[in-house]
Amino acid sequence: MGKKNAFPILIEGLKKMEYRGYDSAGICVGHNNDLMLAKKKGRVVELEKDFLNEYGVCSLDGSCEKRYELKEIKGGMGIAHTRWATHGEPNETNAHPHFDCKKEIAVVHNGIIENYNALKEILEKEGHIFVSKTDTEVISHLVEKFYQGNIEEAAIKAIKLIEGTFGLAIICKKENKIIVARRGSPVVLGVGENENIVASDVVAILPHTKRVIYLNDNEMAVLMQDGYAVKNLDGQNVEKNIEEIKWAAEEIEKGGYKHFMLKEIFEQPKAVENTLRGRIDEDNNVKLSLDIDFSNLKRIIIAACGTSWHSALIGKYLIEKSANLPVEVDYASEFRYRNPIVGPDDLLLVISQSGETADVLAALREAKQKGAKTLGIINVVGSTIAREVDSGIYLHAGPEIGVASTKAFSCQVTALLLLALFLAQKRGVKIDKEIFVELKNLPKKIEETLKNSDKIILLADKFKDAKNFLYLGRGMNFPVALEGALKLKEISYIHAEGYPAAEMKHGPIALVDSNMPVVFVATKDNTYSKILSNMEEIRARGGQIIAITNEVSQDIQRLSQNIIAVPRCAEELSPIINTIPLQILAYHIADKKNLDVDKPKNLAKSVTVE
């Protein structure tokens, strides 16, 4: 909202936000008492192409008869959305923005309106005509119902009736204002010079301003030409601090790499260095400023999703081994719905790159409500989870844009090891000081590991047409197998399973034949000889073994023609070193298949709906 033409700002903003959802996109700009609309199934570039081809923007006055050319669009007020479908298939009709019957009010919305069916029924009885299959459309009709010349008042009345989650923006062609509100879905307000920009992620705001205000649940903001006001949902003003985003604008660009995922894989030495920075002092004490009383702590429960859940599994090994404290790991989505037994002697640790994953947030709130202490390992500063935990450890990994998480994983495991050592210190458990030497060398070892890239590209070529993959590992490297399999399936669409290597005999071995590549994480630890036996078992059944190892022994050479050698490191760090080749393998397989690595189908970077 401001004096500049909103249209190009919105298109650029959508491109930055696209990693959050990309099955359809839409824009609505208000100008000269008209709303101009463009929607398209597919990516933002498809939407943009229409304008470049002078297809123009459809005016909502006169049922899209009138089309504006790009040069005619000059409005300084606009909203836009790139969608990850929840209700209604991805198509042009279901793309946001959604309108009221008179096409005077436009709404974009993240989240889920849980009572939309009931509201829709009432509104339809009152004569409202719905055109889409989305839950969002009820918001536009509700605002229309209450609109009597004041969009802010109408929005407040509508919001009071909706149940569920929302991060939403509303405009009305008769007023020069944008109303935004949040409950459960992020909304950030960027405060610029003579303009204010709202988005669900700071990446869309960063090119315009670094000064932001994070809305809390049940807060709204009114953006006007000459300013903004933050209010509660009763319309009373709320005092908010303006915070400064620390990321540099270049960090959200590809910087010469073909994909963000590749860039982020290669950023891992720096990212891990940033996670470690200032957290180990000269006397090898881990320094974490955590505002939590650990004295009567009996147990840690870690809740997370996806890749963050895999780091949580590694965290269990690390904390139990170093700090001698029991740890349970839960899928955040399961934790919340099984009435977990947690209380004041427990610490709920949530791990989330985005800090916005809805299931993780719900688990956090559940545990807090039951009196547990809470701690977060989070990347995105100012995210909802970061603001709701009692205390936290930021990763400082920089923005992660590729949908497949890479550098966040390495930094999460690093942060978990720091936490494990910190807890060991607190609990008086002896620490082998060699681990600090290893930790300080970790960025260099990651760099060394990345040098394997060319060899892995050849393997990607060899195995890119496989239909299935099996990933096997033991101990701390079992979660690495899970992570390797997740990376491959989410970006290459090849079916892959991760399994504890010894468990494979209890079922999955039935799948093994000469068409099955089996990736073994076989680095030297106390299970090394056992894992060699597991490799023999696969070899005996004709499986093609890819071995990640730091011990290129005769045995390994006999068992596998596809060896990826990684540097030796402490067992605690091996999950980081061993995951890197698996990220590179998945990346190159997907790239060789010409797939959209950064935006795999059906996925979104932050899953802000339950």
Contacts with ligand M6R, residue ranges (CB under 6 A): 305-308, 352-354, 357, 360, 403-405, 486, 490, 606-607
Residue 48 vs 264, nearer CB to ligand M6R: 264
Residue 132 vs 274, nearer CB to ligand M6R: 274
> Cα dihedral angle (251, 406, 552, 503), rounded to 10 degrees?
180
Residue type, 105: I
Residue 78 vs 306, nearer CB to ligand M6R: 306
Residue 220 vs 491, nearer CB to ligand M6R: 491
For the record, the structure tokens of 473 come out as 């590992």
* Residue 446 near residue 268, CB atoms below 8 Å: yes
Q: Are strands 177-183 and 219-224 parallel, antiparallel or unpaired?
A: antiparallel
Residue 429 vs 603, nearer CB to ligand M6R: 603
Residue 176 vs 608, nearer CB to ligand M6R: 608
Task: Name the residue whose CB lies closest to ligand M6R.
Answer: 306
> Cα dihedral angle (127, 130, 131, 135), rounded to 10 degrees?
180
Q: Which of 84, 87, 80, 31 is nearest to 60 (CA)?
A: 31
Please give the helix or strand (H or E) that residue 538 lies within, else none.
Answer: helix 528-540
For the CB of residue 483, give the shortest distance to ligand M6R in the complex, in Å.
8
Residue 305 vs 325, nearer CB to ligand M6R: 305
How many Å apart are CA 1 and CA 189, to the nearest integer? 11
How many Å apart are CA 186 and CA 169, to the nearest integer? 12
> How distant is the alpha carbon of residue 513 from its chain centre?
36
Secondary structure of 292-351 in HEC code, one letter for each residue: CCCCCCCEEEEEECHHHHHHHHHHHHHHHHHHCCCEEEEEHHHHHHCCCCCCCCEEEEEE
| DSSP-derived secondary structure for 409-441 | HHHHHHHHHHHHHHHHHHHT----THHHHHHHH
For the CB of residue 467, give the shortest distance to ligand M6R in the complex, in Å.
21
Burial class of residue 385, CB neighbours in 10 A (0-12, 13-18, 19+): buried
For the CB of residue 95, give the shortest distance to ligand M6R in the complex, in Å.
23
* Cβ-based neighbours of 106, under 8 Å, separated by 6 or more: 28, 35, 37, 79, 97, 98, 99, 140, 170, 171, 172
Residue position matching structure tokens 């500049």: 4
For the CB of residue 395, give the shortest distance to ligand M6R in the complex, in Å.
10
Residue 119 vs 360, nearer CB to ligand M6R: 360
For the CB of residue 314, give the shortest distance to ligand M6R in the complex, in Å.
14
Residue 272 vs 297, nearer CB to ligand M6R: 272
Residue 445 vs 489, nearer CB to ligand M6R: 489
For the CB of residue 8, give the shortest distance to ligand M6R in the complex, in Å.
29
Residue 330 vs 490, nearer CB to ligand M6R: 490
Residue 144 vs 400, nearer CB to ligand M6R: 400
For the CB of residue 607, give the shortest distance to ligand M6R in the complex, in Å.
5
Strand order in the sheet with 177-183: 98-99, 105-110, 166-172, 177-183, 219-224, 227-232
* Residue 228 near residue 196, CB atoms below 8 Å: yes
DSSP code at position 602:
T
For the CB of residue 19, give the shortest distance to ligand M6R in the complex, in Å.
10
Angle of CA points 236, 219, 339, to nearest 5°: 130
Residue position matching structure tokens 């989305």: 134
Residue 78 vs 479, nearer CB to ligand M6R: 479
R_g of the chain, CA atoms, integer Å: 26
Q: How far is CA 468 from CA 117, 229, 538, in A?
A: 41, 54, 15
* Residue 356 near residue 384, CB atoms below 8 Å: yes
For the CB of residue 195, give the shortest distance to ligand M6R in the complex, in Å.
29
Residue 196 vs 357, nearer CB to ligand M6R: 357
Q: Identify whether 97 is preceded by a cis peptide bond (ω within 30 of 0).
A: yes
Helices 268-276 and 434-450 meet at what angle, rounded to 10? Answer: 160
For the CB of residue 405, give the shortest distance to ligand M6R in the complex, in Å.
4
